[in-house]
Amino acid sequence: MNQKEKVLLGMSGGVDSSVSAILLKEQGYEVVGVTMNLIGTNEKEREDAKKVCDQLGIQHYTLDETAEFKRRVIDPFVKCYEQCLTPNPCVECNRYLKFGKMYEFAQSLGIDKIATGHYARIEKDVETGEMVLKKSASLQKDQSYVLYAIPKELLSHILFPLEGYESKEEIREIAKKYQLPIAEKPDSQDICFIPDGDYASFLEKQMGKKAKKGKIVNQEGKILGIHKGLHHYTIGQRRGLGIANPVPLFVRGFREEKNELVVGEEAELYQSQFQVSDVNWLSDYKEKTLEVTVKVRYHAKEAKAKISKQGEKVIVDLYEPQKGITPGQSAVFYQKDQVIGGGKIERMKE
């Protein structure tokens, strides 16, 4: 490796990206930092990133991507909820902003490599010679699930300096060793542009209308209660239904044409087949069907499945039914620790 090879590092002002700068410098790279000004990014985060760069002798840029963030992340997020889907905005942010826009900016600076503080690995497959995305060595911190939508052609240009670390404590120790001002800074939680976690109020403000109450019904249409507005709920939700019932009830679907929330018992939440669209493949294969494990939520356990290509879409057949498969969320396909690809779970017909 050329000891003076440049890398553009995305810096959020947090511990992970700050320590990534240290590790990249130790590996011999000339590090350039960039902080994206997104909706939800506050002045303190930008200041923290700049302080770390100044302390480490790193050039720092700030990019205003608020308009692109609204177009690529917030507008689709609101539209999903309007369609009774449950989106994962981090996937879109990674695809279009933290990797897409950042790589464009790197190219404008004549830099070929970009890096982030994500926990994942990119390696060369010894058999095919292609670059592949894999789970992090730290499975508790693994973020490969939200990275599946990165364009395949970018993999050879991305570095993940934290991929070999097993715990956040190790990362904080490095920050303390270098006396970084953010060494004890807590991890960010929830969705960055809804820091108070009040999704409903945020959505109502974006949509310009108040939630419309409606009926809570079972599969047969029997009225069991009144809901606060469909966007308050997601598949599998149990809390907040306000229904007295001998057996616990969960959200199992929506009938938006009637403004009805459909609930059922836990057994009704299990599915063995679903369809995925907007698929991004990170590994080339020609077989029509493939044995994989599939993850249907960030914190879900992987489940064994067979996936079948059907045009631009994929049919997922699970070997054991899984609970609470949620339209709008991502289904990510793995073989061992390698990400094969993934896409968005579609609404199922009742």
Radius of gyration, alpha carbons of the chain:
22
Number of domains in the chain: 3
* Catalytic-role residue among 53, 80, 84, 192: 192
Average pLDDT on 2-21 reads: 90
Indicate if 171 and 257 belong to the same structural domain: no
Average pLDDT on 318-337 reads: 95
Confidence of residue 229 (pLDDT cuts 50, 70, 90): very high
- Whole-number pLDDT of residue 286: 75
Average pLDDT on 254-275 reads: 95
Query: Given a cut of 90, is residue 185 above it in pLDDT?
Result: no
CATH number for the domain harbouring residue 290: 2.40.30.10
Confidence of residue 349 (pLDDT cuts 50, 70, 90): low
Confidence of residue 208 (pLDDT cuts 50, 70, 90): confident
Q: What percent of the chain has pLDDT over 90?
A: 77
Indicate if 139 and 287 belong to the same structural domain: no
Which two tokens mark 110? 């004549």
* Catalytic-role residue among 80, 84, 90, 93: 93
Indicate if 285 and 246 belong to the same structural domain: no
Domain enclosing residue 328, as ranges: 269-345
Query: Given a cut of 80, is residue 89 above it in pLDDT?
Result: yes
Decide if 252 is inside a domain. Answer: yes
Main-chain phi, psi angles of 59, to 5 degrees? -70, 140
List, in order, residues 6 or more apart from 40 with CB less than 8 Å away. Answer: 191, 192, 193, 194, 195
Q: What is the pLDDT of residues 120-148, one digit of tens each?
A: 999 999 888 899 999 998 777 899 999 99
Q: What is the pLDDT of residues 107-118, one digit of tens each?
A: 999 999 999 999
Indicate if 35 and 158 belong to the same structural domain: yes
Model confidence, pTM: 0.92
Cα 68–339–19 angle (5° rounding)? 65
Indicate if 97 and 27 belong to the same structural domain: yes
Q: Tell which of 264, 282, 304 closes a domain.
A: 264
Decide if 13 is inside a domain. Answer: yes
Indicate if 172 and 249 belong to the same structural domain: no
Indicate if 108 and 137 belong to the same structural domain: yes
- Whole-number pLDDT of residue 126: 87
Indicate if 61 and 130 belong to the same structural domain: yes
Q: What is the pLDDT of residues 70-86, one digit of tens each?
A: 999 999 999 999 999 99
Helix axes 168-177, 15-26, angle to 10 degrees: 70
Q: Is 192 a catalytic residue?
A: yes
Q: 283 by DSSP, 3-state: which?
A: coil
